[in-house]
Chains A and B, each alone.
Chain A
Amino acid sequence: MLEALASFLTVIAVTPLMIKLGRRVGIVGVDVHKSSKPVIPKTGGLALILGSLIALLVHMLLNHDSLPLIFLSTGLIAGFIGFLEDFRGEMNPKLKPTLLLLASIPILVTGSYIPRPVIPFIGRTRLYKIYPILVALAYPVTCNAVNSVDVLNGSMIYTSIPFFAMSSIIAYYRGNSFILTMSLICISILVALIPYNKYPAKIFPGNSGSLFIGGLMASTAILGRIEVAAIIALLPQIMNEMHVIFSIGGIKSAKQVKSRPVKFVDGFLTASKDRSAPITLVRLLSAGAKVSEKNMAYMMGVLAAFTSVLAILTDLLLVEAWI
């Protein structure tokens, strides 16, 4: 609990400094869903990273285990790849997922995983050969899925908090204090960033923030042994990513996609009718409607909360019996 409080206060304190740093160094992006098209710093991810580093420091002073270091290092590798993209501009869309495989190294090298996930209706499986491959793939899939919903003010945070709430609840009833602590730290840093990232945003999490959070989600699933529940909780993000890939015909850069999924008209978002436009969650929710950016971000949070409840139900009814 002390770790969560320390990380919360750190993010609250350092985010104004990150806003200044982002403007000074030029790590900025245009907020395209505003009439005035303001330029906003993309350094919110650095505040999230600093917040979790402080939490790690507090945790290591109170306890003497190395697992939090492994947990956080996966997120740091993913966050660093995101920071490179924020700093140097858009990365090759095929190189990015390849680099994100590196985020799995701390868990794979230290052998911190247990390759016996419980699968509904089957029970505990023995996946000694395939599990390490799935661990490696979990990072690019999760990071890109989280990154793909970071399109509106607050949307990445509102869709990520339900995931960590789900992992906290499961960790609580399983008595897994490590995952409970790590999940509470993640909730704390995300909640602390809300005042700065909610509509109208003063800072964006950036690729560093969304990939960092995606990396921590993958590690929560693997180290917490909640693989199936994690996939279910992440269905909105995974569906969003898969829809984009299928509708534009592969993994492509945003610059290669001519048509935008939504239009910004009179301060509202509305779905594009262009068949070549990518299919996204925002486009689905705004089909035939005019929706404010603020409401749209809340609706995305509702979707994530819904699948997180399904994840808990699945875990309670179909997985817990084998634990």
Chain B
Amino acid sequence: MRLLKNLAAVLALLAIVWATFLLVSYILASTLFPAIEQASQNIFASILRVIVGLATFTAWVLAWYTLTKIWLYKVLGVD
């Protein structure tokens, strides 16, 4: 029973990661990628786009890692 609950929780986590991945890929495609591909545009706008893109990606990875860690330690009863 516990295994099925764990499986359901990991499936839910994967669904969250999938949905947020779609959002993050949209943000990266509108910020980071154009900044690298279109070198002729305003330099400050490019830097800002790179920062926003990288920050979004880092925040995404950290968010699902933290979410996983909180869930795991709660199930394991670890403080």
Contacts and interface: CB of A to CB of B under 8 A. Distances in A.
Interface in A121-146: 121-122, 125-130
Interface string A209-246: 00000000000000000001001100110010011001
Interface residues of A, number: 42
Interface in A245-281: 246-247, 271, 273, 275, 279, 281
A287 B76 contact: yes
A242 B62 CA distance: 10
B78 A273 contact: yes
Interface majority SS (helix, strand, loop, mixed), chain A: helix
Interface stretch (A34-42, A171-179, A198-206, A303-311): A303-311
B72 to A, nearest CB: 6
Interface in B2-60: 2-3, 6-7, 9-11, 13-15, 17-18, 21-22, 25-26, 29-30, 33, 36-37
Contacts of A93: none
A228 B3 contact: no
Interface majority SS (helix, strand, loop, mixed), chain B: helix
A105 interface: no
A270 B65 CA distance: 21
A285 interface: yes
A122 B14 contact: no
Contacts of B61: 242, 246
Contacts of B33: 125, 127, 130
A285 B29 contact: no
Nearest to B34: A125
A318 interface: yes
B26 A120 contact: yes
A299 B11 CA distance: 10
Given A120-B25, A127-B33, A273-B78, A243 B68 contact: yes
Interface of B: 2-3, 6-7, 9-11, 13-15, 17-18, 21-22, 25-26, 29-30, 33, 36-37, 61, 64-65, 68-69, 72-73, 75-78
